[in-house]
């Protein structure tokens, strides 16, 4: 009798091991099964089927039943899961869950069927059975029809024919089609020579990873779609990852027009049932392209021919829940395993990615100009300190007001961008633009009101809040951010007839979310779109000729070593929304720091200049990619327990530190800058590593810690250190 190695679907490290069960012939690896466990039953995953077990015959239990007709997890998923478990040391059950739609595990939705009735036997129907004859004739003409429809049309005549075996009913699987009614023209275009070269280079290079560095509007999407079409033509499948926000209505209809139902598009606007069905279509092979945000990297496609990660620099590609995987790492494993290419695309690649490309690890491919050699929009830097001195209290500079008026007069559209996230905590002088930074780390300090002090999130240093600007003595220190709502209000006063749309976290809640707003703007139901980060991403609105960045430097002052990079990316991305069609575009960048090197590079679209500047800073300060920032976090509701758990893990980490000091640039225990979030205390050990093998040991140390009410986890280069 065969035995199955089963991982039970319980996310606890105590049960994170293989259990052997006896099983019948129908069981194979990848299936979900129901097994007796402890005093009850639980579901589990079959990892492997084998002929023998070490478990004593009288102790081995039997699998009760299977949940799947065919394995939910592919062979690739199982081996990938093993690799991820090895990398991140999280319980296998948690890793395996990544590969299944949540709806499948919770059993809240299921497959949907409809009943079809077919004609299976010819028969003489007596003339007096009039309705039956009509039905019979109908079926002879049509062969089959929907059961509900027939019952409505022919009522009681259906049953006798079914009973006599003239007709037969049959259940058929139906897929909910979330894109019914989404139509678009097939926009396949003849590739430009640059695009052709890009496709050719990807397909011919020996390297697994290609970085497609193309300015905004250079036609990267067309390159991806060609690569995907080529993969399909070769009988393979494809994975296309985009930041959630890029799945705009325009993008959906373009994909739909190009690939029809071959593409399964997973995004947050789908209902649970729709998502489940899209996943199922991929698993069964009727859809062969998986398109979606981060989690689509786990799509159940087999024989993958290409994987694309668009906007590779985007922060949404790192997971913030356990296991804290990095999408690139997973995609890379899949690409290597399938012998296919992994294509990263961006106008503003992350510094780490670009370095790897320049060092020759990745193939670097450029799309140096916009389609039809359209010019990049001209960027004007406006000094907001002067506006303050002139007594202009509004969020708009004189230049921006002038340009807005002109844009509206010409009947074009404008986008105004502002960024508030995290800003209120940074201290800036409105007179001179001074920002409080850490003496040791050169990142902006964060103000903590509960302790009335400034803190560095990288070294824990604390500073007193200065009473006046240390640089100019000015007294206008503090928070200068402006909310989207206020901007809209001011705009309405200035341009009463303009139609204005607001897009931020408040207006994009709900199932439709940002879709509706973007669609309205694309359909030209508004003249001005005001928004936060969300408006920066890859939208293509041909009528936009003006982009205003209300506070360009605020993201420079995030308390984060990547803030320079983020600012450059953000400015380039928003600027890229302007002037995408015939009319040339313009960009107004409002700043308190007009001499800032990063903003200057962004204004000139000088990625190389930016990169040289940034990488030198990273090398000097020993920040990634020259080091790895690792945080071990302990969180729990009880402070004493949390402190105790951290102390325990800290001691073991300290042993590692003592054994291999050369691998540590920094090692410190502290409570997190924000001591409590959502009722959970947060204590951490912060480390900066040279990139040696000690990281693996850190994961192991943390995985071995067992505390009842305290969660311990490891983060690598976390996006946010608060």
Residues that bind ligand ADP (CB under 6 A): 189-192, 195, 214, 216-222, 371, 538, 540
Measured on CA atoms in the order 346, 352, 357, 358, is the torsion positive or negative? positive
Judged by beta carbon, residue 93 or residue 376, the one nearer ligand ADP is: 376
- Residue 220 binds: one of ligand ADP, Zn ion, none (C-beta under 5 to 8 A by kind): ligand ADP
Backbone angles phi, psi at 544, to 5 degrees: -80, 120
- Residue 189 binds: one of Zn ion, ligand ADP, none (C-beta under 5 to 8 A by kind): ligand ADP
Q: How far is the CB of 586 from ligand ADP (least distance, A)?
A: 18
- Residue 216 binds: one of ligand ADP, Zn ion, none (C-beta under 5 to 8 A by kind): ligand ADP
Query: Does residue 440 belong to the site contacting Zn ion (CB under 5 A)?
Result: yes
- Residue 200 binds: one of Zn ion, ligand ADP, none (C-beta under 5 to 8 A by kind): none
Report the b/e string of 621-650 with b at 16+ CB within 10 A. Answer: bebbbbbbbbbbbbbbeeeebbbebbebbb
- Residue 5 binds: one of Zn ion, ligand ADP, none (C-beta under 5 to 8 A by kind): none
Judged by beta carbon, residue 425 or residue 545, the one nearer ligand ADP is: 545
Q: How far is the CB of 222 from ligand ADP (least distance, A)?
A: 4
Please check whether residue 6 is in contact with residue 44, taking contact to mean a CB–CB distance below 8 angstroms: yes
CA distance 597 to 580: 26
Query: How many CB atoms are closer than 10 A to CB 113?
Result: 11
Query: Does residue 459 belong to the site contacting Zn ion (CB under 5 A)?
Result: yes
- Residue 218 binds: one of ligand ADP, Zn ion, none (C-beta under 5 to 8 A by kind): ligand ADP
Judged by beta carbon, residue 538 or residue 625, the one nearer ligand ADP is: 538
CA distance 88 to 325: 7
Q: How far is the CB of 578 from ligand ADP (least distance, A)?
A: 12
CA distance 199 to 224: 8
Measured on CA atoms in the order 368, 370, 374, 375, is the torsion positive or negative? negative
Q: How far is the CB of 416 from Zn ion (least distance, A)?
A: 34
Q: How far is the CB of 191 from ligand ADP (least distance, A)?
A: 5
- Residue 438 binds: one of ligand ADP, Zn ion, none (C-beta under 5 to 8 A by kind): Zn ion
- Residue 515 binds: one of ligand ADP, Zn ion, none (C-beta under 5 to 8 A by kind): none
Backbone angles phi, psi at 196, to 5 degrees: -60, -45
CA distance 656 to 659: 5
Q: What are the distances in angstroms from CA 113 to CA 110, 116, 146?
A: 10, 10, 11
Q: Within a 13 Å sphere around the CA of 217, how many CA atoms are in the beta-carbon half?
A: 26
Q: How far is the CB of 94 from Zn ion (least distance, A)?
A: 34
- Residue 222 binds: one of Zn ion, ligand ADP, none (C-beta under 5 to 8 A by kind): ligand ADP
Residues whose CB falls within 8 Å of the CB of residue 673, separated by 6 or more in sequence, listed in order: 446, 448, 455, 457, 721, 722
Judged by beta carbon, residue 264 or residue 438, the one nearer Zn ion is: 438
CA distance 290 to 177: 15
Backbone angles phi, psi at 19, to 5 degrees: -115, 135
Judged by beta carbon, residue 378 or residue 644, the one nearer ligand ADP is: 378
Judged by beta carbon, residue 242 or residue 444, the one nearer ligand ADP is: 242
Strands (DSSP E) contained in 368-431 are 378-383, 413-417, 428-429
Judged by beta carbon, residue 168 or residue 371, the one nearer ligand ADP is: 371
CA distance 167 to 161: 6
Q: How far is the CB of 358 from ligand ADP (least distance, A)?
A: 21
Burial of 191 (0-12, 13-18, 19+ CB in 10 A): middle
- Residue 459 binds: one of ligand ADP, Zn ion, none (C-beta under 5 to 8 A by kind): Zn ion
Judged by beta carbon, residue 413 or residue 596, the one nearer ligand ADP is: 413
Reduced to 3 states (helix: H, G, I; strand: E, B; else coil), residue 345 is strand
Query: How many CB atoms are closer than 10 A to CB 376?
Result: 20
Burial of 71 (0-12, 13-18, 19+ CB in 10 A): buried
- Residue 461 binds: one of Zn ion, ligand ADP, none (C-beta under 5 to 8 A by kind): Zn ion
- Residue 214 binds: one of ligand ADP, Zn ion, none (C-beta under 5 to 8 A by kind): ligand ADP
Q: How far is the CB of 458 from Zn ion (least distance, A)?
A: 5
Stretch that binds Zn ion, among 85-93, 431-439, 608-616, 666-674 (CB under 5 A): 431-439
CA distance 524 to 460: 49
- Residue 441 binds: one of ligand ADP, Zn ion, none (C-beta under 5 to 8 A by kind): Zn ion
Judged by beta carbon, residue 456 or residue 469, the one nearer Zn ion is: 456
Query: Does residue 674 belong to the site contacting Zn ion (CB under 5 A)?
Result: no
Judged by beta carbon, residue 217 or residue 531, the one nearer ligand ADP is: 217
Q: How far is the CB of 217 from ligand ADP (least distance, A)?
A: 4
Judged by beta carbon, residue 247 or residue 436, the one nearer ligand ADP is: 247
Q: How far is the CB of 539 from ligand ADP (least distance, A)?
A: 9
CA distance 265 to 583: 33
| Of 11, 34, 461, 615, the one binding Zn ion by CB under 5 A | 461
Q: How far is the CB of 225 from ligand ADP (least distance, A)?
A: 9
Residues whose CB falls within 8 Å of the CB of residue 398, separated by 6 or more in sequence, listed in order: 387, 392
| Of 139, 198, 290, 441, the one binding Zn ion by CB under 5 A | 441
Is there a cis peptide before residue 605, judged by omega within 30 degrees of 0? Answer: no
Query: Does residue 445 belong to the site contacting Zn ion (CB under 5 A)?
Result: no
Query: Does residue 456 belong to the site contacting Zn ion (CB under 5 A)?
Result: yes
Q: How far is the CB of 74 from Zn ion (least distance, A)?
A: 46
Backbone angles phi, psi at 387, to 5 degrees: -65, -40
Judged by beta carbon, residue 448 or residue 524, the one nearer Zn ion is: 448
Judged by beta carbon, residue 240 or residue 458, the one nearer Zn ion is: 458
Backbone angles phi, psi at 537, to 5 degrees: -70, 180
Q: How far is the CB of 218 from ligand ADP (least distance, A)?
A: 4
- Residue 248 binds: one of Zn ion, ligand ADP, none (C-beta under 5 to 8 A by kind): none
Judged by beta carbon, residue 210 or residue 686, the one nearer Zn ion is: 686
Residues whose CB falls within 8 Å of the CB of residue 566, separated by 6 or more in sequence, listed in order: 555, 558, 560
- Interface residues with Zn ion (CB under 5 A) are 438, 440-441, 456, 458-459, 461
């Amino acid at each position: 009798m065969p035995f199955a190695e089963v991982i039970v679907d319980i996310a606890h490290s105590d049960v994170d091991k293989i259990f052997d069960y006896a099983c019948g012939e129908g069981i194979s690896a990848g299936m979900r099964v129901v097994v007796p466990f402890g005093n009850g039953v639980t579901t589990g995953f079959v990892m492997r089927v084998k002929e023998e077990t070490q478990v004593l015959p009288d102790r081995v239990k039997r699998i009760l039943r299977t949940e799947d007709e065919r394995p939910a997890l592919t062979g690739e998923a199982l081996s990938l899961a093993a690799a991820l478990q090895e990398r991140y040391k999280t319980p296998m059950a948690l890793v395996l869950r990544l590969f299944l739609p949540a709806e499948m595990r919770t059993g809240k939705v299921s497959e949907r069927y409809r009943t079809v009735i077919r004609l299976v036997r010819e028969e003489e129907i007596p003339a007096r059975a009039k309705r039956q004859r009509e039905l019979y004739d109908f079926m002879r003409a049509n062969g089959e029809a929907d059961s509900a429809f027939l019952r409505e049309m022919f009522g009681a005549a259906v049953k006798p024919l079914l009973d006599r075996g003239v007709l037969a009913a049959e259940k058929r699987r139906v897929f909910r089609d979330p894109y019914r009614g989404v139509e678009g023209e097939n926009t396949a275009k003849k590739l430009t020579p640059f695009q052709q070269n890009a496709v050719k280079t990807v397909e011919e290079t020996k390297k697994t990873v290609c970085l497609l560095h193309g300015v905004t509007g250079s036609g990267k999407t067309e390159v991806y779609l060609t690569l995907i079409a080529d993969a399909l033509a070769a009988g393979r499948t494809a994975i296309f990852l985009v930041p959630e926000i890029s799945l705009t209505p325009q993008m959906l209809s373009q994909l739909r027009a190009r690939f029809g139902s071959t593409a399964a598009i997973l995004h947050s606007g789908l209902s649970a049932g729709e998502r489940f069905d899209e996943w199922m279509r991929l698993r069964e092979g009727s859809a062969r392209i998986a398109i979606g945000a981060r989690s689509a990297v786990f799509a159940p496609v087999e024989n993958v021919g290409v994987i694309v990660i668009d906007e590779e620099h985007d922060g949404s590609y790192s997971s913030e829940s356990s296991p804290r995987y990095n999408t690139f790492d997973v995609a890379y494993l899949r690409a290597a395993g399938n012998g296919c290419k992994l294509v990263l695309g961006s106008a503003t690649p992350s510094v780490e990615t670009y370095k790897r490309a320049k060092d020759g690890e990745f193939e670097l491919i450029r799309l140096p100009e916009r389609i039809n050699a359209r010019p990049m929009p001209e960027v004007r830097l406006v000094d907001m300190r002067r506006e303050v001195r002139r007594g202009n209290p509004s969020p708009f500079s004189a230049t921006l007001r002038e340009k807005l008026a002109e844009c509206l007069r010409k009947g074009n559209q404008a986008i105004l961008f502002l960024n508030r996230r995290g800003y209120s905590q940074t201290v800036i002088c409105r007179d001179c633009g001074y920002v409080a930074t850490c003496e040791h780390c050169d990142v902006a300090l964060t103000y903590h009101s509960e302790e009335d002090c400034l803190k560095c999130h990288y070294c824990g240093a604390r500073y007193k809040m200065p009473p006046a600007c240390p640089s100019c003595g000015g007294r206008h220190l503090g928070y200068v951010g402006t909310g989207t709502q206020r901007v809209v209000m001011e705009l309405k006063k200035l341009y009463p007839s303009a139609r204005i749309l607001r897009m931020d976290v408040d207006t994009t809640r709900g199932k439709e979310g940002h879709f509706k707003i973007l669609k309205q703007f694309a359909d030209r139901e508004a003249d001005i779109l005001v928004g936060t980060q969300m408006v920066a991403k890859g939208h293509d609105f041909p009528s936009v000729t003006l982009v205003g960045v209300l506070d360009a430097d605020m993201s420079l002052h995030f308390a984060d070593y990547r803030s320079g990079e983020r600012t450059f990316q953000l400015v380039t991305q928003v600027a890229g929304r302007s002037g995408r069609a015939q009319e040339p575009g313009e960009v107004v960048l409002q700043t308190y720091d007009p001499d800032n090197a990063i903003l200057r590079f962004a204004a000139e679209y000088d990625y190389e200049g930016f990169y040289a500047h940034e990488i030198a800073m990273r090398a000097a300060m020993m920040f990634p990619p020259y080091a790895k920032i690792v945080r071990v976090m302990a969180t729990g509701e009880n402070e004493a327990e949390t402190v105790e758990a951290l102390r325990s893990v800290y001691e073991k980490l300290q042993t590692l530190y003592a054994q291999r000091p050369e691998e540590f640039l920094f090692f410190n225990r502290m409570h997190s800058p924000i001591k409590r979030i959502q009722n959970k205390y947060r204590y951490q050990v912060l480390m900066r590593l040279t990139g040696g093998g000690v990281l693996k040991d850190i994961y192991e140390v943390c995985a071995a810690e067992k505390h009842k009410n305290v969660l311990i986890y490891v983060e690598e280069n976390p996006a946010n250190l608060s």
